Amino acid sequence: MTADSGKTTRKWYGEIRNGKEIWVYRDLRTNFIEIFDALRRGEIPETEMIREKSEPSLHDLLTEYGRKRIKDEFTEDRLLIKFYSLYEEITEIINLYLEKIDSFGILTGVEYREDDPCLYFRSMAGVSHTDPSISMVAKSASIGVSMCSFRTDLFQFTSEMAEKIMPNTVDLIGGSLALELLWRSGGLRNMVKFPASTFQVLGAEKAFFKHMRTGTPSPKHGFLFKYPGISSLPPSKRGKIARTVANKLAIAVRADFYGTRIDTETMKNLITKRIQEAKSR
């Protein structure tokens, strides 16, 4: 990080002259973000230097610089990905918790029937009994109720956030699919680079790479299988419709990235028409 030139030694903060004089970029402690950005680009900051008695703390300034860079790169879509990832994790935790608590249904008389862990937790938490064991089961179920309540709040929050960040995509494919798309792709900046063909097979990476390695039939769709109407089509017709959805999706994503609104209603009507045509053939 140093480059000697006669009696002057180049340092990250400026120079050491005559072997002992410390010269620091002016306003380094208050303007270090711009100075560090220039140094990262290999540029010498265009600012005069002043003489100081001691070297600045590289550790302290780099810590603040790192925090600033992380904050700048933590865009709204990346924050949404974090929250949606948390939603997926809490869903998995709820299912695991259900496995642990399900056997207690014998004690409380509550059976798991509706394929709804949250309803099961609420029913079990409402059991009142003098038996300490059953009371503890009810308390355990109340933890599940709390997790379900948090998950509901989290889903509502992420849905509203998705509508704000990617309104065209949400209008076109729905909030749940839009969130999964954002989560799998890693952000709008990545999504805008994807061709329609990538959107079509996103979520079917294992099948796609198997196709590339062994020559098995390529996947016709990935998570777009969840788009309303596609799953009810014969397998031979799903790929064509998924391709239509992917083409429109690529347009919607680009519009979201550049902050413009487009006519997604016409797109949805066209997709619905194609689905109806596929069903009638």
pLDDT of residue 178: 94
pLDDT of residue 208: 67
Residue 280 zone, left/alpha/beta (φ > 0; ψ -120 to 50; rest)? alpha
pLDDT of residue 32: 77
Going from the first residue of the chain to its last (281 residues), give the mean pLDDT of each consecutive group of 10, the final group possibly shorter: 58 74 74 77 68 71 76 80 94 94 82 86 84 87 95 95 94 93 89 89 73 74 86 86 92 94 95 90 75
What span, in angstroms and rounded, lies between the C-alpha atoms of 133 and 141?
A: 12
Which domain covers residue 67, as residue numbers?
3-73
pLDDT of residue 46: 61
**Are residues 84 and 66 located together in one domain of the fold?**
no
Q: At residue 50, what are phi and psi to the nearest 5 degrees? A: -120, 155
pLDDT of residue 129: 72
pLDDT of residue 252: 95
pLDDT of residue 4: 45
**Are residues 181 and 242 located together in one domain of the fold?**
yes
**Are residues 105 and 35 located together in one domain of the fold?**
no
**Are residues 133 and 187 located together in one domain of the fold?**
no
Domain count, the chain: 3
CA end-to-end span of the chain, whole Å? Answer: 71
- The amino acid present at 23, given as its one-letter code, is W
The token duo for 39 is: 């140094």
**Are residues 20 and 98 located together in one domain of the fold?**
no
Last residue of a domain, one of 44, 73, 102: 73
**Are residues 143 and 190 located together in one domain of the fold?**
no
Which residues share a beta bridge with 24? 14, 50
**Are residues 178 and 125 located together in one domain of the fold?**
no
**Are residues 57 and 80 located together in one domain of the fold?**
no
**Spatial CB neighbours of 159, under 8 Å, sequence gap ≥ 6:** 175, 179
**Are residues 14 and 89 located together in one domain of the fold?**
no
Last residue of a domain, one of 106, 128, 163: 163
Alpha helices in the chain (DSSP H): 32-40, 58-73, 76-101, 105-108, 117-125, 132-165, 167-173, 175-185, 188-191, 196-201, 205-214, 235-257, 264-280
pLDDT of residue 111: 83
**Are residues 127 and 156 located together in one domain of the fold?**
yes
Last residue of a domain, one of 14, 39, 73: 73
**Are residues 181 and 266 located together in one domain of the fold?**
yes
pLDDT of residue 5: 46
pLDDT of residue 8: 77
Q: What is the CATH number of the domain that holds 264?
A: 1.10.246.90
**Are residues 178 and 276 located together in one domain of the fold?**
yes
